[in-house]
Amino acid sequence: MPELPEVELAIRRLRPFVEGRVLRAVARLHPSTRRALPPAHVRAAVGQRVLAVARRGKYQVFELARGDRLVAHFRLDGDWNVGPADAPLPRYARLALALDDGRRVSLVDPRAFATVTWHRAGEDPVAGLGPEPFDPGFTPARFRAALARRRAAIKLVLLDQRVLAGVGNIYAAEALWHAGVHPDIPADRIGPSRAARLLDAVRLALSRGLDEPGRVFATAQTTATTHELMVYGRDGEPCRRCGRRIRRVVHGARGTWYCAGCQR
DNA sequence: TATTCCCTGTGC
DNA sequence: GCACAGGGAATA
């Protein structure tokens, strides 16, 4: 499911096709995209040149020439498809952008959870979003201060986009495993050294997702290949670090996998 | 702060 | 054939 790394890679693939192009038409192909993007907003965006596409957390921000923006969010399984405008639409296309070079960018999203919204110039389309995990200004001390304000389980707090932008269910579980932190620990009980370790672990887990797939890497504990998960979805399988069986618990209707042996 | 809802393919 | 999965907004 698209979290920060997958969204970043999707943007990198899309950029060469859309940056500098003019939006000739926007087709809303499903009730979900018609809800999120009313006709007036389509009219506002059509005819404008796309100056740049930026990422903020899991959001993709299309900067338009007049200063307004289209903002896409993949949610659970959205992705972009690029092809000629006269080709048949891909299966599960929920929205399509016709470009001035004859190409068409389609938002492909089987579950129709993805959104594309329009935001007037001057408006902050991602207000309230927390810091970027790789922002050098986001220090372990700031991370720890944010955690200290929260009593909920650290797993849930890592998913809170106001605390940290871009981490979802998979990378939260992976980061907690890398850091050796139990998912149920209350966030405000995480001290400075564990907060520093956890921030490093978040960055490590996200980096693995950004790496070339299949490259072998080693950490202090284990050797694996990039995009290979350490705990997520490995219910009952042995921990790659200590061999104990991975357990699955539920946090707010979402699965969390962890190792009771080395996450404390 | 906890629960519900939006959707539909996948896996039992 | 049906429960389940899940990010974020809305609701209680």
Rounded CA–C1' distance between A94 and C1, in angstroms: 27
From A175-179, A182-186, A219-223, A260-264, the region with the lowest mean pLDDT:
A219-223
Chain C footprint positions (protein CB, under 7 Å): 5-9
- Residues whose CB falls within 7 A of nucleic chain B? A 30-32, 35, 92, 110-113, 150-152, 156, 252-253
Instruction: Please name the residues in contact with A264: beta carbons below 8 A apart, sequence gap of 6 or more.
Output: A180, A181, A182
* Residue A57: predicted pLDDT: 93
Asked if A96 and A89 count as a contact pair (C-beta separation under 8 A), the reply is yes
Active-site residue flag, A2: yes
Global confidence as pTM:
0.94
Asked if A27 and A78 count as a contact pair (C-beta separation under 8 A), the reply is no
> What pLDDT digit, counting tens, does each position of A12-43 carry?
999 999 999 999 999 999 999 998 999 999 99
Active-site residue flag, A254: yes
